[in-house]
Chain A
């Protein structure tokens, strides 16, 4: 017997059977392919967004004695390099002005020598006023404020090594966005979040070389800002290699079009470029890879992202494969017929099995190939642009191969059980025995209940053990998921499915009143439907469970997505501080906050953010107006340990020197409520001044605060103690549309203020998977869930039609009207639909809650409660209802084609 030929013949000669088996595999394969392509596209999105904000991709530091022209030639010649600009930096120990006999001095800072094209190439150091004339400098707003200097004044700089230089001021320059290139370039300094200088003076590169660099000895080192104001006795300062007084750099911008979309591949590409350049520079240059540093946390984040995307789609994939089981039920008649034919031709049981398995594998292969084609089509339709930059051919090839292998193997395995049963039935068919299956092993062992209990234990233990919330020291938003985050939802899915199957099957065997109820609704046809559902309890419970899981899958994804979006807004609000943030471009006192009040603004509060020192450690001190903050910024009770938001604000208001410290600070310094804390805070001139505070509580989060160490104190007290009344920014709450309020505020305040709003902040939170828009994935998952629900019920009804051909024919023969026969099918669909959808909504809601544990590892702070998108769930339910109606119409079409006389002849 030629088994492959017979297998192929089975596929071709039983097209109904092949098509039914193919549908589930194709859906699973489409889902896998499109989800993998979504992952690839989102990698590209995140990578691109992460690099978009970088002014330069690499800082190439020239070693002592290196020839800048030779280094520039090497860089310019590299095919990956788009632009090279010169950048020299010289530290100064102090700067001073002497106006009308009054001397004003400030602490450390930097003098920069820039290529003439630097600003236009990088967008940094734009002039707010004046210009950079030869032999003169443009100074930062902070330096101008600290010295009270204006264009036309002269500033005297004390340089490392004892030299000095006096330079006239010709303009004011913005240093916004320049933190990375102004800060230290060694990893150790960057790791502790050393603050970049704010006292900055910019001049041409040739002027810096001739007027400044010549006065600094080659071995001079920069003064550490942490010790610039003096170190209290008994406090240890961290030990770093001192920063050289002069850094000569070439800043490189790469051709991002050549950059792979995948962050790991992008890092490899960047590494290749770095090695290539450093090899040619032969020890004279050091490549500081800002781009690679930005991508570093992304690789891990996106790996988790991929797991998350697949995990979210996993129930859909498995459900689609489970359709194979329903397909086998729906086409059992064809299987038995063909098996009988082969048997008549002398096929042994083993040969029979081989032919049918061969046909199953062929069908699965065709289905998975079809799914890959559909998946690629969907992928390019939904996220084609991102996919193209992610390296579409590679992503398609990877996704396609994974989908084909996975679905072919799983679909073949899924088909074995029903096939074995059907072939056994074929053999036993002549005896007309009533098949009574025993209780499955998993039910006897109560594995469903055990799995749910394990899931609950994992949920409680993992959720309460603090596995997730420790973020990296820099406070960058990175993902801190652990595999345990996925365990609880997975166990809930598996255990819930099994329990649902147990309950539904048991329930269907005891539905004495079902035919009565359906009979009242649909007449005699409904009565028969009730009987039929009870008689086909196993098949009906499979259909109900598939429908319930499909609806549950869609519901849980919708709940997850709604909560994800809610947390994106919370994330943006926490980062920005409120709906709107207005930053003055010149020194502004707190009283100026009142100027922001007006149409479209519901409330304002002035905010001060100073870098202060707790011992040797730099931290952010947030000086706030506790009486107005709560009405403007999002304050949740979960931000505070053993307290509430209102109690924490009341504690600040009741005592001027009260201070809230971050959990990390409280732990590091063993501080408890009531302890006195001595902190060095910069005064108006930047000199650190010691101020005493009293610990009033612990805050885990605070608007605008970094993720790790911060302090919150009363603004009025800080101003009074330091004499520095300059606010950092004003937070505002919009009254209505945030974008409109932002535009109105920007127009009203003019060019003296910089306005940021939630929309721009959300877009800027790019270096994490939180920036990924899940809407395409949700559309995919929910769309496929609805499709699976419809196909599942259609297969059940078609299986019923196949099984009950003679029954329907008999009914028609003894006088059942067409509407009565149809009512019988409608009754079944109605019951299956109602039972499946209602249980699915409950299961989906519960699994959605379990999925919040995953969000706890993505968003910090975690969600207090899930967002339930009732309208979307309602729409989804209606669409599922429509797909059931479609399935019913399909089955009704089959019924109307039933040849009664032929069916009555069948034995």
Chain B
């Protein structure tokens, strides 16, 4: 069963007075359930834009995109938001943590948005933090955590709603080599344990090597790649 089925996906950006920039051009992508897919490419190749399309944050200018059986272009913004809230986890390169919340509250944020009662939120957030090795960090302020710890909190947040699909945008881009390896292992292991799918966008060949399927992206075009 496919979690993602994209056919002929296009995304252009039009700026007044300038030629349109084609960020994603005629991309076909299929992600099967329970697989890890890596999309590797240099900066500016369109990886993040493609991830934005897969997450329903942007709507493609052309092509069709089904995520977990739902045609995204037919969903409203609210419906796409609910899909992300319930079934998709996202990990960001620069962590995407809210400085006004503690580590635990950041992890529990998707549950808060889903109106889960505070007690249940806290319980599940503590479990998620334990899973990423930060069991004692529930009440910690974000600025008290190291880069590696912050990304672990980000991973815990992506996992807390038990998603079927996790989208990770350069999850190790802000980390040193040691932390990068740890976080990536943590993420892929957690995904595999859950039988979920992971789309990993990266410019790091070593990260891409952990994937079941490997794609290369250049100038907005996607092609099958060979693991390094």
Contact = CB atoms under 8 A, between A and B. Distances in A.
Interface of A: 434, 523-524, 527-528, 531-532, 534-535, 806-807, 810-820, 900-901, 904-905, 907
A527 B161 CA distance: 19
Contact of B143 (A434, A523, A812, A817): A434
Interface in B17-72: 48-49, 52, 55, 57-58
A674 to B, nearest CB: 77
B48 to A, nearest CB: 6
B101 interface: yes
B102 to A, nearest CB: 10
A807 B98 contact: yes
A531 B108 CA distance: 14
Nearest to A906: B94
Q: Which of A814, A817, A905 has the most CB of B within 10 A?
A: A814
A523 B114 CA distance: 10
Contacts of A907: 94
A524 B113 contact: yes
A900 B51 CA distance: 12
B48 A815 contact: no
B112 A813 contact: no
A811 B100 CA distance: 13
Given A528-B98, A806-B94, A814-B89, 15 more contacts: A527-B112, A810-B92, A810-B97, A811-B109, A812-B57, A812-B81, A813-B92, A814-B85, A815-B81, A815-B83, A815-B88, A815-B113, A815-B114, A818-B77, A907-B94
B49 A901 contact: yes
A815 B84 contact: yes
B96 A817 contact: no
Contacts of B100: 528, 531-532, 534-535
A497 B14 CA distance: 48
A508 B170 CA distance: 37
A742 B115 CA distance: 70
24 contacts: A528-B100, A531-B100, A531-B105, A534-B100, A807-B98, A810-B92, A810-B96, A813-B55, A813-B57, A813-B92, A814-B84, A814-B110, A814-B113, A815-B82, A815-B88, A815-B110, A815-B113, A816-B81, A817-B78, A817-B82, A900-B52, A901-B49, A901-B52, A901-B58
A814 B157 contact: yes
Contacts of A816: 81, 85, 113
A817 B161 CA distance: 16
A520 B74 CA distance: 33
B57 A900 contact: yes
Contacts of B114: 815
B86 interface: yes
B99 interface: yes
Nearest to B96: A810
A535 B82 contact: no
B99 A535 contact: yes
A524 B49 contact: no
B57 A815 contact: no
Contact of A531 (B57, B101, B113): B101
Contacts of B109: 811, 814
B118 to A, nearest CB: 9
Q: What DSSP secondary structure best describes chain A's contact surface?
A: helix
B96 A818 contact: no
A528 B89 CA distance: 20
A655 to B, nearest CB: 79
Nearest to B55: A813
A818 B96 CA distance: 18
A817 B99 CA distance: 20
Nearest to A536: B100
A766 to B, nearest CB: 61
Contact of B48 (A524, A534, A535, A901): A901
A771 to B, nearest CB: 56
Contacts of B113: 524, 811, 814-817, 820
Interface in B104-153: 105, 109-110, 112-115, 143
Contacts of A806: 94, 96
A812 B83 CA distance: 11
Contacts of B3: none
Nearest to A814: B110
A819 B82 CA distance: 12
Nearest to A515: B100
Interface in B152-207: 157, 161, 169
In order of increasing CB-CB distance, the 6 nearest A-B pairs are A815-B85, A535-B100, A901-B52, A815-B84, A810-B96, A531-B100
B81 A905 contact: no
Contacts of B110: 814-815
Given A535-B99, A819-B78, A820-B113, A813 B90 contact: yes
A531 B83 CA distance: 25
A190 B217 CA distance: 101
A639 B83 CA distance: 77
Given A524-B113, A813-B90, A901 B78 contact: no
Q: Which of A528, A532, A900 has the most CB of B within 10 A?
A: A528
A588 to B, nearest CB: 83
B52 to A, nearest CB: 4
A447 B175 CA distance: 48
A230 B16 CA distance: 101
Contacts of A528: 98, 100
Contacts of B78: 817-819
Nearest to A815: B85
A807 B101 CA distance: 11
A806 B99 CA distance: 11
Contact of B115 (A524, A534, A535): A524
B80 to A, nearest CB: 9
Contacts of A901: 48-49, 52, 57-58
Nearest to A527: B112
A896 to B, nearest CB: 9
Nearest to A820: B113
Q: Which of A532, A819, A904 has the most CB of B within 10 A?
A: A904
Contacts of A534: 100
A179 B88 CA distance: 94
Contacts of A819: 78
A43 to B, nearest CB: 53
Given A524-B112, A820-B113, A905 B98 contact: no
Nearest to B157: A814
Contacts of B105: 531
Contacts of A523: 115
Q: Which of B55, B78, B86 has the most CB of A within 10 A?
A: B55
A805 to B, nearest CB: 12
Contacts of B48: 901, 904-905
A534 to B, nearest CB: 7
